[in-house]
C-alpha cells in the first residue's frame, strides 16, 4: 500500500511556546522566579521572555473569547500556513484562528487536531530564533490524546514524521515522532490516570539544572504561588514533576541527567 508523501516535509519542529494568562503580571513574576526569565515590555499585551538574552517563550493576557487557549500552547513550524490550514480541515481537524499575519513574526494558525489537541503553527520569518534543550527552556513536548493512532496518522500526513512505539501499544502506548533519526515531539495515549473530564492536550517540558534538581525546583514553584500537580518521580526520560503556575498554566519540568531504568519494557512512567 502506497503511503502518500507528507505535505510539509521540512516543517514540524517546535518553534515557540507561550502561555495565556488571566493575570500576566503574576504569571511573569512566577516564571522569573522559577527559571530566571527576563521579560521584554509588553506589545499589545504580549511579553516575550528571554533567558541569558535568548527568547524562550512569552506570556500574554487572555481575552474573554480566548478561554480555550488558557495555559501553555506549543507551536510547530510550517512552511505555508494556508496550505497547513487547508490540510487540517480536510483531515478532520478544526482551525480555531488564522492564518493571520503577525508583524515581523510571520503567519499564525491555531488549530485542533482530529483527536482534540489544540496546537499552534507558525510560518516564521527568516531569522527566527527560539532557545531549546537547556535548563529553563523547552526540552520536550507531547500530545496526550485518547486516540493515538489517529493522531499519529494526522501528523505523519502533515509532516515528515516517523513514529516509533516505545511501549507495547496497549498498556503503555507512547510514540516518539522523529525526522532523520532526531526525536522532535511525542504522543501518549491517555489512560485511566487521566480523569474523563481532562481533554486531549499538549504538555510542554522545561529543563531543570542538575545542580538545582527537580525536587528543589518543584518546591520553589510552590513557594512562588504555584502548585505541584504531580510530585517528583523518576522515569526513563529523567526526574519529572508536573507543576501549575498561579494562573493555571500546567507544565512539566525534567532533569534529564536523572534517568532511571524502566521496570519493564512497557512501563507507563506516569503510573505509580
Burial environment of residue 267 by CB neighbours within 10 A (0 to 12, 13 to 18, 19 or more): middle
Residue 122 is classified by DSSP as E
Residues 206 and 253 sit within 8 Å (Cβ to Cβ)? yes
Contacts 24+ apart (CB under 8 A), 257-263: 257/210, 258/210, 258/213, 258/214, 258/234, 259/235, 260/234, 260/235, 260/236, 261/236, 262/236
Domain ranges of the chain: 14-124, 138-255
In residues, how long is the chain?
272
In the DSSP assignment, the letter for residue 43 is B
Q: Into which CATH architecture does domain 14-124 fall?
A: Roll (3.10)
Whether pTM > 0.75 for this model: the answer is yes
Distance between start and end Cα atoms, the chain: 41
How would you write the pLDDT of the chain (272 residues) with one tens digit per residue?
A: 334 567 787 789 999 999 999 899 999 999 999 999 999 998 888 899 999 999 999 999 887 655 556 789 999 999 999 999 999 999 999 999 889 998 878 899 999 999 999 999 999 877 789 999 999 999 999 999 999 999 999 999 999 899 999 887 788 889 999 988 899 999 999 887 788 888 899 999 999 999 999 999 999 999 999 999 999 999 888 999 999 999 999 999 999 988 776 543 334 444 44
What's the DSSP call for residue 66?
A: G
Tally of CB atoms within 10 A around 258: 18
Superfamily of domain 138-255: 2,3-Dihydroxybiphenyl 1,2-Dioxygenase, domain 1 (3.10.180.10)
Q: What are phi and psi of 128, to 5 degrees?
A: -60, 135
3-state helix, strand, coil in the chain (%, to 5): 20, 45, 40
Same CATH fold assignment for domains 14-124 and 138-255: yes
Whether the CB-CB separation of 137 and 56 falls below 8 Å is answered with yes
Residues with Cβ within 8 Å of 209's Cβ and at least 6 positions away in sequence, in order, are 135, 136, 255
Amino acid at each position: 500500500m502506497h503511503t502518500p508523501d507528507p505535505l510539509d516535509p521540512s516543517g514540524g519542529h517546535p518553534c515557540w511556546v507561550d502561555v495565556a494568562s488571566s493575570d500576566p503580571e503574576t504569571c511573569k513574576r512566577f516564571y522569573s522566579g522559577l527559571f530566571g526569565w527576563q521579560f521584554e515590555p509588553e506589545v499589545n499585551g504580549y511579553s516575550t521572555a528571554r533567558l541569558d538574552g535568548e527568547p524562550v517563550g512569552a506570556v500574554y493576557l487572555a481575552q474573554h473569547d480566548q478561554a480555550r487557549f488558557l495555559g501553555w500552547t506549543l507551536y510547530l513550524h510550517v512552511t505555508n500556513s494556508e496550505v497547513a490550514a487547508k490540510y487540517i480541515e480536510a483531515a478532520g481537524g478544526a482551525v480555531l484562528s488564522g492564518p493571520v499575519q503577525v508583524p515581523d513574526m510571520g503567519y499564525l494558525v491555531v488549530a485542533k487536531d482530529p483527536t482534540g489537541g489544540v496546537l499552534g503553527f507558525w510560518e516564521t520569518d527568516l531569522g527566527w530564533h527560539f532557545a531549546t534543550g537547556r535548563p529553563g527552556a523547552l526540552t520536550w513536548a507531547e500530545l496526550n490524546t485518547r486516540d493515538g493512532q489517529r493522531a499519529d496518522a494526522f501528523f505523519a500526513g502533515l509532516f515528515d514524521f516517523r513514529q516509533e512505539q516505545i511501549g507495547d501499544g496497549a498498556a503503555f502506548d507512547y510514540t516518539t515522532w522523529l525526522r532523520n533519526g532526531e526525536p522532535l515531539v511525542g504522543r501518549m495515549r491517555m489512560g485511566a490516570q487521566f480523569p474523563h473530564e481532562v481533554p486531549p492536550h499538549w504538555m510542554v517540558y522545561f529543563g531543570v539544572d542538575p545542580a538545582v534538581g527537580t525536587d528543589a525546583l518543584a518546591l520553589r514553584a510552590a513557594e512562588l504561588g504555584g502548585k505541584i500537580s504531580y510530585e517528583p518521580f523518576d522515569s526513563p526520560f529523567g526526574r519529572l514533576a508536573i507543576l501549575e503556575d498561579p494562573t493555571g498554566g500546567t507544565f512539566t519540568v525534567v532533569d534529564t541527567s536523572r534517568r532511571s531504568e524502566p521496570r519493564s519494557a512497557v512501563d507507563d512512567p506516569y503510573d505509580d
